[in-house]
Amino acid sequence: MDQIPGAIRVQIPTISHGTRKAWVKFRDPQSSNAWYVTEFDGKDLCYGLIISDVESVWGYFSLIEIALFRNQFGLPIVLDIYWKPQELEEKEEWS
């Protein structure tokens, strides 16, 4: 999947490094749902902070699932092109 730009892709630590730096943000354009990538297996599996309308959790998610997902209006999840990699503690409000 080419959802993560190559220049950033090579910088993201592999899974199990325990980093809190969010390298990439994916978001639902119609809600406050967001996926922050802190670790990546280099293929499909990501680890990071997942924020929904209901809760915020740390966990695994798939780039393929993000690419295939459509919200209630039929819109896809998008890469936040304005997101700059940063430590999670730097931001009080994540969505």
Give the Cα separation of 48 and 59 in Å (integer).
6
8 Å CB contact between 91 and 85: no
| pLDDT over 50 at 1, yes or no | no
Residue 88 pLDDT: 83
8 Å CB contact between 67 and 75: no
Contacts of residue 17, defined as CB under 8 A and 6 or more positions apart, other chains included, come to 39
Give the Cα separation of 86 and 94 in Å (integer).
12
Going from N- to C-terminal start, the domains of the chain cover: 23-82
For 24, list phi and psi in degrees, rounded to 5.
-140, 145
pLDDT digits (tens, 9 = 90+) for 29-45: 999 999 999 999 999 99
